[in-house]
Structure formats: C-alpha cells, structure tokens
Amino acid sequence: MYGSVDNMNDHQILATAKLRATTQRLAMLKEMRKIHGPFTVERLHKMCRSMDVVTVYRNIKSLVAVGVMREVRLKDASLRYEFSPGEETHHHHAVCNSCGYIEELSECKMHSLFSQQTSKKFKSIDEHVLEFFGTCNSCSKK
C-alpha cells in the first residue's frame, strides 16, 4: 500500500495517503518520529502544543485508516499508536506493571502457530492481539 515510514519522508507519506500536507500533519509526523514505542494522543499533543487535540485525534485516525499507523490497546484507558510495521515486522509488546516501560518484542509467530488451534468453527483468523504484562528488571530490584 505505501512504503515503510523509514524510507519515505513526511510529504511523501501524506501524498501517498492522499492527505494534504498541512502544517499540523507535518508537525505531528516530525514529533512521532522521535517517539519509540506506542504513544498516547495526550503525549503527542504535549509535543504539538500549537494545535488542538481534536486535530491530533482526527489526523491519527486518518493515518490509521490509510495504514500508516496502527492502534495498540494496552491495559490503560487511552488507546496508543505506533507506525504500522509491515507484515514482516508485525510484533507485540511487554509492559512493566510497575513503571510502564514498554518493550518492543521481536517478530510475532502467533498467526502461523495458532491459527489452526482456533477450532473448526472459524473459517479464517486474520487478526489477533497479544500483549504481555509483568515486572521489568529495574523495577524488580526495589
């Protein structure tokens, strides 16, 4: 659908997605590139103070719709987002229940491993969620 975010600049991403290159969208993309791991709209908005939160919500939604970003639902109230990895780098996360540290886990093999175990009642499985929660090393020594 679109090239990876790594080998396209922000204008190209927006053009490919048929989204206008507004000041706000360019600012958002610039800030998002600085974040590692799934972030909340609140966090991104703090980094893009000049625009309204509604604009952040709407643009993130557009980016999800065109496949540039994807939603990540962890155990907190707000949805998180991250650049959509290609099929090759589809992955999951490990979240520390104590400090909130999020680790990006390596490539996911769930689909191939488990699509068959989902019984005879399903014709196909095309999505899954898998997230781990625990205690990170630094939290375990306190």
**By the rule CB under 5 A, 2 interacts with Zn ion:** no
Distances in whole angstroms, Cα of residue 98 to Cα of each of 41, 76, 94? 22, 13, 12
Compute how many residues bind Zn ion; rule: CB under 5 A: 6
Q: Is residue 48 a contact partner of residue 28, using CB atoms and an 8 Å limit?
A: yes
100 to 139, contacts with a copy of itself by CB under 8 A?
Answer: 101, 103, 105-106, 110, 114-115, 117-137, 139
- Sign of the alpha-carbon dihedral angle for 89, 96, 57, 53: negative
Least distance between Mn ion and beta carbon 95 (Å): 11
Q: For residue 66, which of 17, 22, 30 has the smallest C-alpha distance?
A: 17
57 binds, among Mn ion, DNA, Zn ion, none (CB under 5 to 8 A by kind): DNA
**By the rule CB under 5 A, 74 interacts with Zn ion:** no
Report the amino acid identity of residue 34.
K
**By the rule CB under 7 A, 59 interacts with DNA:** yes
**By the rule CB under 7 A, 113 interacts with DNA:** no
**By the rule CB under 7 A, 7 interacts with DNA:** no
Report the amino acid identity of residue 83.
F
Applying CB under 5 A, the residues found at the interface with Mn ion are 82, 104
